[in-house]
Amino acid sequence: MILPQHELEDGRKQVQRMTAILEIHDLHVSYRSSGSELSPALKGVSFRLMPGEIMGVLGESGSGKSTLAGSLVRLLPGNALVTGGTVQFEGKDLLQANPDELQAIRGRHISLIFQEPSLALHPTIRVGEQVRQVLAAHGSRGKRTLNERTRQIFAEIFPEETDRISRSYPHQLSGGQRQRVLIAQAIACGPSVVVADEPTASLDPTTQMEILGVFRRLRERLGLAMIFITHNPALLSDFADHVLVLYAGEVAECGPAESVLGLPRHPYTKALFQSTPAVSGKPGTGRKAKLPVILGDSSRSSLPIRGCCFEPRCTERMEICKEREPSPANLSVSHTVSCFKYES
């Protein structure tokens, strides 16, 4: 497998041969609504995550980001149905794994940080104990080993206040500190992949940047690969290696962060970028500037029956966009755009 291109210091390109740690191919997930009707949420999503890589997943509300996160560890609502595709982790298809195999993989190899931090912590148990329980549930034995490992994890995430934070109850911590406790739980068993579903959505811009700093350090120190889900492209610059843009359950664009964020090609990626405020400290639109909005919406009733799903909202639409769906066009070995403007 040839992926991806890395820029060398002298500017030459080197094509590295590496094996993906996670490979998603043609993933289809639907939700069963009233009766037996199925509503698609993911329609043929494919991408690869390399060891130690940060993949940013971008998209508006309802684009399928959480459905994708849940599919990767098979933690989906009861009415969700995976109707096709594969999710290969180190060569094994997680969609075919039995409950015991999945239990062994979750937390230990891939862990998920949920979108709602307030629901994830027990209010009356000290946070240190909550991390200790995660370790114990995944097979760590012996009081001393558990205590030592818990302390190591807290020292990694809270180097300055290791003991105080560990002894605190969730309500004694700030939102950013609670989010760090969830990160501590997620890394407790030494996974190689962390899937973080909008982990900073409820935090102020400064705390958001601090949390990104924690993730960055963990990647450097532990070599973690990460899928970082957000609706805010500004969070991904200087952070993600690759960016995948989801629109209505389909991949609109996927490629190296510097190309997708620096020169977005898909009309949806461009519109998403223009309609998002910059994070504080980043260049971009000022606080009071009026942001353009992407007119229309991506609700199921607004999606066209045929053609490109973004066509009704696209400012660059052509006749062909109404006729059929675009296939992903390769701009480079690792940058694809599903738009007729780039089809050869």
Ligand X SMILES: Nc1ncnc2c1ncn2[C@@H]1O[C@H](COP(=O)(O)OP(=O)(O)OP(=O)(O)O)[C@@H](O)[C@H]1O
Six-digit token string for 124: 């009356």
Shortest Cβ 32–ligand X spacing (Å)? 8
- Please tell me whether residue 31 binds ligand X under the rule CB under 6 A: yes
**Total residues contacting ligand X (rule CB under 6 A)?**
15
The answer to the question of residue 276 lying near ligand X (CB under 6 A) is no
Query: Segment near ligand X (CB under 6 A), from 59-67, 95-103, 285-293, 328-336?
Result: 59-67
77 binds ligand X (CB under 6 A): yes
Closer Cβ to ligand X, 77 or 223, answer by number: 77
User: 236: burial class by Cβ within 10 Å (0-12, 13-18, 19+)?
Assistant: buried
Residue ranges of E strands in the chain: 2-7, 13-17, 22-32, 38-49, 54-58, 80-89, 92-93, 110-113, 193-197, 225-230, 242-247, 250-256, 329-332, 335-337
Residue 150 interacts with ligand X (CB under 6 A): yes or no: no
Q: Which of 53, 58, 66, 252 binds ligand X (CB under 6 A)?
A: 66
Is 232 a binder of Mg ion (CB under 5 A)? no
Nearer to ligand X by Cβ, of 40 and 176: the residue is 40
- Binding footprint of Mg ion, residue count (CB under 5 A): 2
Q: How far is CA 271 from CA 13, 24, 267, in A?
A: 30, 26, 6
Residues 6+ apart with CB under 8 A from 106: 73, 75, 112
Residues in region 116-145 near ligand X by CB under 6 A: none
For residue 28, give every residue at least 6 positions away whose Cβ sits within 8 Å of its Cβ, in sequence order, or none.
Answer: 40, 42, 43, 44, 82, 83, 84, 85
**Site residues (CB under 5 A) for Mg ion, limited to 51-110:** 65-66
Residues at the contact surface with ligand X, assessed by CB under 6 A: 31, 33, 41, 59, 61-67, 77, 79, 115, 231
Residues at the contact surface with Mg ion, assessed by CB under 5 A: 65-66
